[in-house]
Amino acid sequence: MDLIEQPRCPNCGVVMRDEPGAYRCPACGRVIEVADVPPAPVFDGPAIHGG
Ligand SMILES: [Zn+2]
């Protein structure tokens, strides 16, 4: 679970480079936002209520 298969550019099929919050194709410059892959789990004790 350490290595994640990087996505490929839907445009030219080149392996995209990982960027903070997105993937970028080094060939055509296409950027795909990564909203489905959270950087880290957010389970830390009880939920914070109020402020
Ligand atoms: Zn591309």
For residue 38, name the pLDDT band (cuts at 50, 70, 90): low
Q: 23 C-alpha to center of ligand 1: Å?
A: 11
7/45 Cα distance (integer angstroms)? 33
Q: Is pLDDT at 49 greater than 60 in this prediction? A: yes
Q: Is pLDDT at 12 greater than 80 in this prediction? A: yes
Q: Is the dihedral of CA 41, 36, 13, 20 positive or negative?
A: negative
Q: 43 C-alpha to center of ligand 1: Å?
A: 36
CB atoms within 10 A of CB 14: 13
Q: Is pLDDT at 1 greater than 60 in this prediction? A: no
Residue-range domain boundaries for the chain: 1-36
